[in-house]
Structure 1
Amino acid sequence: MTSSLSDVQSPFPEPTTDEAMSGLTAAFDPGRFHDDAMDIVNRLTAYLGDRSVRGLDLIDPAVLLKAARGLMTPERQHVADFDPDRVNQIVNLYAETGIPVHSPGYMGRQFSGVVPLAGLIDLVSSVVNQPSSFYEAGQLPNVAERLMADELNRFIGWDRDRFAMVTTSGGSLANLTALLAARNRAFPQIWTRGAGDTPGPPAIAISEDAHYSVTRAAGVLGIGERQIIRLPADRTGRIRPDLAEPVLEEARERGLRPFCLVASAGTTSMGAFDPLEELADLARRHELWLHVDGAHGASLLLSDRHRDKLRGIEHADSLTWDAHKMLFMPAPCTLLFYRDKTAAHGAFKQRASYVFDEEPDIYSAYDSADKNFECTKRPMIMPLWTVWSVYGQALFAQKIDRLCEMTRQAHRMISAEPDFAVAHEPESNILCFRYLPDGMDPAAAHRLQLEIRNRIRGGGRFFISKVDIHGVAALRVVVMNHLIEADHLAMLIAEIRDIGQQVLRESATARHDQRNGSHS
């Protein structure tokens, strides 16, 4: 016999309407929010004020899982009573287990400690919750996006009446979107009929040192590894235009149809800037879309001292620019620029009656959903626009100049150490180097750098990263904190040397014990 839904008894007693509403009302209570917010702001103020040199405290995931589970309410039937101590413990655990991006010991990654005002505006965005792909849902964010586009385009140099900008969630998504626009321009039939009708396999040309998101985007687009044309780079990771031309010609002879050349403005590994003017000429000769992945380095456009590293950017067709890197905003916040705004509409050729207006008006002219992947999109432009509105360009330029200068200082200091070897001269705020004491076996250099990096990370004072350069690991610092001084760099150098010497002694002892064991 089949029971109706009304016959099924819930294992939990139904709360009364008053009980249910009291818990629900309390969770949304503005007064409760005020008290919670003040407690959290006070905790974050202390966090920002901690200038100690500290790195990453890497915790066993099982230990953290147990601690986090212990902070979850056991209540299952009713809305649990608010527990301020539980909230404080969650905030403390969140802050203490994260990378301390505001510490002078943090030199490991390309995301930044944010301008504090940007964090406050991000809180406002979370509370007012205005998804910004459509003007009617996020009026000010869409206007702010247009304003920031105009402000930043002054440094790019495109025709203000023809260019376009959209925000998107990260450089990887921006690169994918730009490649979609480039592919659809070169193969307009591919969106509806697929790649079967293309006259030869579509291909993209990239640097040997391109970010992995570019090759990932190629995979998403159905461009296999064999259709990725790898352009030769010099020892610093910059594309060699003189060697790139014959590689492109050879690819065409193999039947490939390259449609886009991707250049880098600040590679992830060494911060190298490709020669954009020469690559723009190359792209024109081969009728290629020139996309510049400037996720890290495009921000140097704001600096009078460093803008020349992007000479030729005005000739690009599109540009990826991460504000959560060298514009010091909360992640993610990426700006995708197009030289020709009609190309921005070419990435996605869709209509949907529930979101796209059949008759455009003054409001829908500010919509961006037809130009970016996301339908529901955070108003990520608001922290950047607010900080720019309050402080102006100089805040960003001064911090960028400071970071680049301290990286050059690190280069000078490390170059002067006889047991260290720098891998390149820094073009921005990224520097790679190795600890190589006299008599070091070259075959052991790779493992030594890896062990040094891992022990530094476990030590808790500094956080640095590593990268393989020409097959050999190198230590890598990314100077993102303007509070870093020469003394901090000297401390890091000393710690690397101490750890390196310790590793070598342990290795020598192990070899000695192994020999003695084999002799016995």
Structure 2
Amino acid sequence: MSLILDDAERRRANDLLARFLDGYERNLDDTPIVPEIDRDTLQELMHEGFPATGTGVEGFFRDLDERIVPNSTAVSHPRFLAYVLGPPTGIAAYAEAVAATLNQNCNFWQLSPAASVIERTVIGWLASRFGFDQERAGGILTGGGSIATLNALTVALHARRPDFRATGLQAGRAPLVLYTSAEAHRCVDKAAGILGIGLDHVRHIPTDDRLRMRVDLLAEAVRADRAAGLEPFCVVATAGTVTTGSVDPLGEIADLAEAEDLWLHVDGAYGALFVLAEPVAEMFREIRRADSVALDPHKLLFAPLEAGCLLVRDAATLRAAYAYSSSYLTVAQDPLMHDYMDHGPQLSRSFKALKIWAALRTFGTDAFGSALTGMLELAGHLGRRVTAEPGLELMAPVTLTAVCIRLPGLSGPEHTTLLARLAEEGTALLGPAVVGGAHGIRVCITNHRTTRADIDAIVDRLAELSRA
């Protein structure tokens, strides 16, 4: 028995795959955003096990068409607007197929020379968008922004405590303290818990009326912790909070971090890549002063999952945290290549860079700037339409593309019921929002397929329901 398809099977698989990709693209607008889940089918999938002789190519594609796709959320639908998750680019599926075929292990360069250069190229291009010194900066592609932030805080720990490997986190010294916004993503707390910093040593700084971290209160917290014998070591600013898209005052935070000797990490997983959109690029200029930045190419560069990124201003800090020697992995250094096993916690790593590189090469960088600018314009249009409707209310300023809306008079549970109704009737999949203690709904436009007609259809329906 062989694990290789013969000529006939390969031709059939190619034909069926082409039909699937073409059909999915053509029928996307008519596909239910949220599937009507067939629980009996999913129970079968869970319990039927794997056949001894196999179902063959035809059987795989039959399962795909009849059981998997009908029970999958259509995240590429133009009115999938619940989360910061856009549809992949048109070249993505082909790049992923090539990556799977080559199966490069992107750990040390001998196993993946071209992949090493392509990842280095992608990292260099991203770093240049934020004004990082190309000769000094570095980074690594990760599974997502949460892992990028975890890796960044690991690097920050090693930078603060160069003997960290030998002594551990808090051995006999003042506890380290981490600062972030009350609106920060939960990945900051999760990283602090995983790394042993402890949630008791994470300070969630209140925000201003634009939901940005208050730098005056940050300064007070740092002073208070120093007076209490603790050791402030890092501040995490947010460039695009997950609920409202607010951007912390990055320049002021950078000034404070520099004065207080704090590592500055910017969580830009949602918003930082809007630096490619000319209307808001200036908002992200001060990221150049950060020690590290988390990005998500699987959001605003529309790469298929997974594709996160960590950038650091000084690549040496990555190696100080992650480089370990081992005779069985030793290869001659090459100035053209990077051994990415020394830039992050993983040894075995997939060829994530190809799908990003392929899209940038295929469509050109201007296409991404145009797509992001278009989404910003749609968010502005949505905000204006909501403001003009007497039965709808904006819950926060529209900074990027997250628009939070409430229907005055509805409770939190009633907003939840509203979200379920919109999804069930096929209007849109939107998300929940809590802003300043008030409950509402959130439209997050990170979908390059969304049109003004889609936005108008959502507002028209919300207005109709508010009147009812």
- TM-score, normalised on structure 1? 0.85
Q: What secondary structure is seen at the aligned counterpart in 2 of 1:335?
A: strand
Q: What secondary structure is seen at the aligned counterpart in 2 of 1:116?
A: coil
Retained in 2: the 8 A contact 1:54–1:104?
no
Q: What secondary structure is seen at the aligned counterpart in 2 of 1:308?
A: helix
Aligned counterparts of 1:349 and 1:146: Cα–Cα separation in 2: 17
Equivalent position of 2:450 in the other structure: 484
Aligned counterparts of 1:112 and 1:33: Cα–Cα separation in 2: 31
> 1:217-256 maps to which residues of 2 (within 5 A)?
217-256=191-230
Aligned counterparts of 2:287 and 2:242: Cα–Cα separation in 1: 19
Question: Which one of 12, 16, 40 corresponds to residue 39 of structure 1?
Answer: 16
CA offset digits 1:367-398 (Å, max 9, x no partner): 11011122111110101111212222101101
Distance 1:490 1:199, change over 3 A: same
> 1:85-234 maps to which residues of 2 (within 5 A)?
85-234=59-208
Distance 1:91 1:40, change over 3 A: farther
Equivalent position of 1:392 in the other structure: 364
> 1:372-451 maps to which residues of 2 (within 5 A)?
372-436=344-408, 440=409, 445-451=411-417
Identity %: 25
Question: Which one of 416, 422, 426 corresponds to residue 460 of structure 1?
Answer: 426
Retained in 1: the 8 A contact 2:82–2:430?
yes
Retained in 2: the 8 A contact 1:99–1:106?
no
Equivalent position of 1:471 in the other structure: 437
Retained in 2: the 8 A contact 1:319–1:338?
yes
Shift of 1:235: 3.2
> 1:329-344 maps to which residues of 2 (within 5 A)?
329-344=303-318
Say whether 1:68 aligns with 2:40. no
Across the two proteins, how many residue pairs are aligned to each other?
468
Shift of 1:67: 4.6
Retained in 2: the 8 A contact 1:159–1:339?
yes
Of residues 191-200 and 310-319 in structure 1, the stretch that sits farther from structure 2 once superposed is 191-200
Aligned counterparts of 1:382 and 1:178: Cα–Cα separation in 2: 23
Letter in 2 for 1:214: V
Distance 1:352 1:455, change over 3 A: farther
Is the radius of gyration larger for structure 1 or structure 2?
A: 1
Retained in 2: the 8 A contact 1:177–1:347?
no
Equivalent position of 1:266 in the other structure: 240
Aligned counterparts of 1:385 and 1:153: Cα–Cα separation in 2: 14
Shift of 1:217: 0.3
Distance 1:196 1:422, change over 3 A: closer
Distance 1:55 1:240, change over 3 A: farther
Retained in 2: the 8 A contact 1:449–1:474?
yes
Question: Which one of 290, 293, 297 corresponds to residue 316 of structure 1?
Answer: 290
Equivalent position of 1:290 in the other structure: 264
Aligned counterparts of 2:111 and 2:100: Cα–Cα separation in 1: 14
Shift of 1:457: 2.5
Letter in 1 for 2:285: R
Aligned counterparts of 2:309 and 2:66: Cα–Cα separation in 1: 32
CA offset digits 1:178-207 (Å, max 9, x no partner): 101101111122221123435211111111
Aligned counterparts of 1:421 and 1:354: Cα–Cα separation in 2: 62
Distance 1:134 1:59, change over 3 A: farther
Retained in 2: the 8 A contact 1:464–1:477?
yes
Distance 1:255 1:457, change over 3 A: farther
Aligned counterparts of 1:137 and 1:363: Cα–Cα separation in 2: 16
Aligned counterparts of 1:54 and 1:208: Cα–Cα separation in 2: 38
Letter in 2 for 1:399: A
Letter in 2 for 1:389: R
Distance 1:285 1:496, change over 3 A: same
Unaligned 5+ segments in structure 1 are: 1-20, 503-520
Letter in 1 for 2:10: F
CA offset digits 1:201-244 (Å, max 9, x no partner): 11111111111111100001101111001222123321111222
CA offset digits 1:437-471 (Å, max 9, x no partner): xxx2xxx5222212211222333331111122122
Shift of 1:254: 2.3
Distance 1:62 1:254, change over 3 A: farther
Shift of 1:425: 2.1
Retained in 2: the 8 A contact 1:54–1:461?
no
Distance 1:377 1:34, change over 3 A: farther
Letter in 2 for 1:35: R
Aligned counterparts of 1:91 and 1:375: Cα–Cα separation in 2: 35
Retained in 2: the 8 A contact 1:54–1:106?
no
Of residues 464-473 and 280-289 in structure 1, the stretch that sits farther from structure 2 once superposed is 464-473
- TM-score, normalised on structure 2? 0.94
Say whether 1:29 aligns with 2:6. yes
Q: What secondary structure is seen at the aligned counterpart in 2 of 1:197?
A: coil
Letter in 2 for 1:411: G
CA offset digits 1:263-316 (Å, max 9, x no partner): 111111111111111110010111001001111112112122221111211111
Retained in 2: the 8 A contact 1:422–1:434?
yes
Retained in 1: the 8 A contact 2:28–2:77?
yes
Shift of 1:80: 2.6
Retained in 2: the 8 A contact 1:135–1:363?
no
Distance 1:163 1:491, change over 3 A: same
Q: What secondary structure is seen at the aligned counterpart in 2 of 1:94?
A: helix
Aligned counterparts of 2:84 and 2:41: Cα–Cα separation in 1: 25
Aligned counterparts of 1:349 and 1:151: Cα–Cα separation in 2: 24
Aligned counterparts of 2:392 and 2:179: Cα–Cα separation in 1: 35
Q: What secondary structure is seen at the aligned counterpart in 1 of 2:88?
A: coil
Unaligned 5+ segments in structure 2 are: none
Shift of 1:68: 2.6
Aligned counterparts of 2:153 and 2:170: Cα–Cα separation in 1: 19
Aligned counterparts of 2:41 and 2:199: Cα–Cα separation in 1: 39
